[in-house]
Amino acid sequence: MKKVTGIGGVFFKCKDPKTTTEWYQKHLGLNTNPYGASFDWFEDSDGIKKAQTQWTPFKETSEYFEPSKKDFMINYRVENLESLLVELKKEGVTILDNLETYDYGKFVHILDNEGNKIELWEPID
């Protein structure tokens, strides 16, 4: 079973997300939006299936990454998240919440072996 198909997002804490976003726009040319920046790429080598990676700074006081104490979180794009969750539970992986579905995909959070919070995302393309 295919598990991870790409990086769905890179999220990190900073003192001032708005100023940080503006800095990256000005100095590195990121095409920013209220959520950070999105990078488009093609999931398959045939160049047909378009995908996206989200880059987002969070306020340093954000609790969204908890219970991890790290200042970052990576979102991995996956296929068939429901089946993957069954496998992860069997393997003893810590599942932090229930699978949630939105109009742009399904999400769940897990912890890796070092306590890093990971967001798994099955996009609805």
Convert the pLDDT of each residue in 25-45 to its tens digit: 998 889 998 889 999 888 777
Specify the length of the chain in residues.
Answer: 125
Convert the pLDDT of each residue in 46-96 to its tens digit: 778 888 899 999 999 999 999 999 999 999 999 999 999 999 999 999 999
**For the CA atoms of the chain, what is the radius of gyration?**
15
Collapsing DSSP to helix, strand or coil, 123 comes out as: strand
Which residue segments constitute the domains of the chain, with CATH numbers given? Answer: 4-123 (3.10.180.10)
pTM of the complete model: 0.86
